[in-house]
């Protein structure tokens, strides 16, 4: 087992949804210690990822540069990761997300992102068909130092910016940093002001910021169509 079902059950949905500036939580140990170590030991090699660099974004935002690996069930990854994804598709995790979100009208997709030195995730709000994301951080104290960065910034604009704009990190009224080393994850739900990002990585050239992301999509015919058309 990879998910710690007792820790999932201990998280309160009403408290989560009332969090400032939008629903977010940065819990520790939602994975069992043995499960977390197994996943770390069997991470896919960057050679099977697709380089995504210099891709233009809407609204003038800077590109989100990284190596990406979209999940499908025939990926050449270890059985441990396939077992983990099966748990994420299972009833315990579904019930956890439904309790946190407040309903069960969602579907899930998954991908890995590895980010090298100098790259960043510029401040943005996710597409409207996304309900939110659950980011599992995959760097440990053995391969990452806090001063290298990599924390997701939860950003508060006090409602000042349109989601169709490109503010810089320093333009926000408040920035709350997630803890991203060790058995940590970040769950957040999209609202109109759900700005977030990752400042430029400052790490050795051979280091990579590694995450596995559960993308929580709205599951209605209209939003499924918007997601496919990316509008």
At 127 the pLDDT is 87
The pLDDT assigned to 59 comes to: 64
Would the pLDDT of 229 be above 70? Answer: no
pLDDT at residue 25, rounded to an integer: 98
* Separation CA 199–CA 118 (nearest Å): 9
From the number of C-beta atoms within 10 Å of its C-beta (0-12, 13-18, 19+), residue 126 rates as buried
Kindly state the helix (H) or strand (E) to which residue 210 belongs, with its residue range. strand 209-218
Inter-residue contact 28 to 10 (CB < 8 Å)? no
What pLDDT band is residue 184 in, cutting at 50, 70 and 90?
very high
d(CA 112, CA 69): 5
CA 134 – CA 139 distance, rounded (Å): 16
Other CB atoms within a 10 A radius of the CB of residue 147 amount to 7
Q: Angle at the Cα of 2 (from 29 to 33), degrees rounded to 5?
A: 45
pLDDT at 117 > cutoff 60: yes
Cis amide bond preceding 31, omega within 30: no
CATH class of 5-229: mainly beta
Mean pLDDT is lowest, of 7-21, 57-71, 214-228, for 214-228
Residue 116 has pLDDT above 60, yes or no: yes
- CA dist., res. 156 & res. 146, Å (int): 23
Query: In the predicted model, what is the mean pLDDT of residues 178-197?
Result: 94
Q: Is the pLDDT of residue 114 over 90?
A: yes
Alpha helix (H) ranges present in 112-156?
Answer: none
**Strand, helix or coil at 79?**
helix
The residue-averaged pLDDT of 179-206 equals: 94
Domain ranges (residues) in the chain: 5-229
- Other beta carbons less than 10 A from residue 101's beta carbon: 19
Q: In the structure, what pLDDT confidence band is assigned to residue 140 with cuts at 50, 70 and 90?
A: very high
Q: Decide if pLDDT at 11 tops 60.
A: yes
Rounded to 5°, the CA angle 30-31-33 comes to 125
Q: Which two tokens stand for residue 205?
A: 């050239």
**pTM, to two decimals:** 0.93
């Amino acid at each position: 087992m990879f998910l710690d079902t007792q820790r999932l059950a201990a998280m309160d949905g009403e408290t989560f949804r009332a969090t400032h500036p939008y629903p977010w939580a940065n819990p520790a140990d939602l994975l069992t210690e043995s499960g977390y170590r197994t996943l770390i030991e069997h991470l896919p090699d960057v050679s099977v990822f697709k380089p995504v660099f210099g891709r233009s974004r809407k609204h003038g935002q800077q590109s989100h540069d990284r190596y990406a690996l979209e999940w499908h069930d025939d990926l050449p990854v270890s059985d441990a990761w396939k077992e983990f994804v099966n748990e994420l598709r299972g009833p315990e995790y579904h019930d956890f997300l439904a309790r946190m979100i407040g309903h069960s009208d969602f579907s899930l997709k998954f991908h890995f992102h590895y980010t090298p030195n100098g790259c960043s995730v510029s401040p943005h709000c996710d597409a409207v068909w996304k309900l939110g994301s659950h980011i599992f951080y995959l760097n440990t104290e053995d391969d990452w130092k806090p001063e290298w960065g990599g924390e997701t910034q939860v950003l508060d604009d006090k409602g000042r910016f349109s989601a169709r704009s490109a503010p810089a990190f320093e333009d926000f009224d408040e920035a709350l940093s997630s803890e991203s080393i060790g058995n940590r994850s970040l769950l957040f739900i999209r609202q109109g002001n759900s700005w977030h990002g990752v400042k430029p990585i400052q790490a050795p050239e051979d280091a990579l910021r590694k995450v596995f992301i559960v993308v929580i999509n709205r599951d209605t015919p209209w939003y499924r169509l918007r997601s496919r058309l990316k509008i």
